[in-house]
């Protein structure tokens, strides 16, 4: 098995209706190594989002047709842990409060310093466990998917998702078979311990066959299992 490759660049969608500003922000973030897509309105944003969910969104509130607040509310409902940076001309206290209440991690008032914007994106993802390390895995608990640092993903079963939920809560620390069995709705008897072991073996084989890297799930002698390395939860 090969060592895990470096992580793909942070992916960002910039939603801004003013074309010159949109292009300026996109160019700056791209030069900083981020993978940037842009949208001028809500419809364009949702098309990009449905095609591939980003790590972070830079969102203007004063958009035509669908207001940025409505976009933020729906985005927070779909992906509550996504990095959301609002960059808007609305600087009143009540606007800031509304921004944070609808899901903003950072609220910036225009004109925005692009260096500060880049730092805000990176800091937001570090706090959420995404993009913080070059070898971070990512578990999508809603979509039942596991992605490796190269961006390759596998579909998980319900049992595998529960297993990964347990392990990703305390990466690097052993999680007992008892705890995993209980989360799987099983008893703590030996036959259900074997079910846990079988679930781990199947997931390891799936990871190694599809991603061609050593599965980062380790046995903790006489205890259970642990996930080795950083992992972000979506």
Written as one string, the DSSP assignment of 94-127 is: HHHHHHHHTT-SEEEESSPPHHHHHHHHHHHHHH
172-190 tens-digit pLDDT: 888 998 899 999 888 766 6
Percent of the chain predicted with pLDDT > 70: 90
48-103 tens-digit pLDDT: 999 999 999 999 998 888 889 999 999 988 888 899 999 999 888 998 999 899 99
Residue 7 reports pLDDT greater than 80: no
Residue 132 reports pLDDT greater than 50: no
What band does 130 get if pLDDT is binned at 50, 70 and 90? low
What pLDDT score does 192 carry?
67
What pLDDT score does 80 carry?
84
Q: Is 207 in contact with 228 (CB distance < 8 Å)?
A: no
Alpha-carbon Rg of the chain, whole angstroms?
A: 20
This prediction has a pTM of 0.55
Spatial CA neighbour of 109 closest among 85, 134, 90: 90
What pLDDT score does 198 carry?
93
Distances in whole angstroms, Cα of residue 222 to Cα of each of 110, 158, 165, 198: 57, 25, 21, 16
What pLDDT score does 2 carry?
45
Spatial CA neighbour of 57 closest among 104, 114, 90, 20: 104
What pLDDT score does 124 carry?
85
- What SS3 state is found at 10? coil
Mean pLDDT (the chain, rounded): 86
145-171 tens-digit pLDDT: 998 887 788 999 999 999 999 998 888
What pLDDT score does 128 carry?
61
134-148 tens-digit pLDDT: 457 889 988 899 988
What pLDDT score does 162 carry?
94
Cis peptide before 117 (omega within 30 of 0): no
What band does 4 get if pLDDT is binned at 50, 70 and 90? very low
Spatial CA neighbour of 138 closest among 74, 85, 176, 82: 82
Q: Is 68 in contact with 16 (CB distance < 8 Å)?
A: no
Q: Is 55 in contact with 130 (CB distance < 8 Å)?
A: yes
Q: Is 56 in contact with 10 (CB distance < 8 Å)?
A: yes
């Amino acid at each position: 098995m090969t060592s895990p490759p470096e992580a793909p660049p942070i992916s960002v969608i910039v939603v801004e209706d003013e074309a010159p500003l949109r292009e300026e922000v996109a160019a700056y973030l791209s030069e900083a190594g981020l993978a940037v897509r842009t949208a001028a309105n809500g419809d364009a944003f949702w098309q990009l989002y449905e095609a591939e969910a980003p790590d972070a969104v830079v969102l203007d509130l004063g958009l035509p047709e669908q207001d940025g607040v409505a976009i933020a509310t729906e985005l927070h409902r779909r992906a509550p842990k996504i990095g959301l940076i609002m960059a808007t001309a609305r600087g009143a206290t009540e606007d800031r409060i509304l921004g944070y209440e609808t899901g903003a991690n950072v609220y910036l008032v225009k004109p925005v310093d692009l260096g500060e914007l880049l730092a805000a994106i990176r800091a937001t993802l570090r706090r959420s466990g995404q993009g913080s390390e070059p070898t971070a895995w990512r578990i999508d608990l809603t979509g039942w998917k596991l992605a490796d640092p190269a961006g390759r993903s596998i579909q998980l079963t319900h049992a595998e998702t529960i297993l990964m939920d347990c392990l990703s809560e305390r990466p690097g620390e052993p999680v007992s078979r008892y705890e995993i069995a209980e989360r799987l709705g099983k008893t703590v008897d030996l036959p259900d311990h074997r079910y846990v072991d079988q679930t781990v073996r199947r997931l390891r084989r799936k990871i190694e066959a599809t991603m061609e890297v050593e599965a980062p799930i380790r046995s903790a002698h006489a205890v259970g299992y642990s996930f080795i390395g950083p992992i972000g939860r979506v």
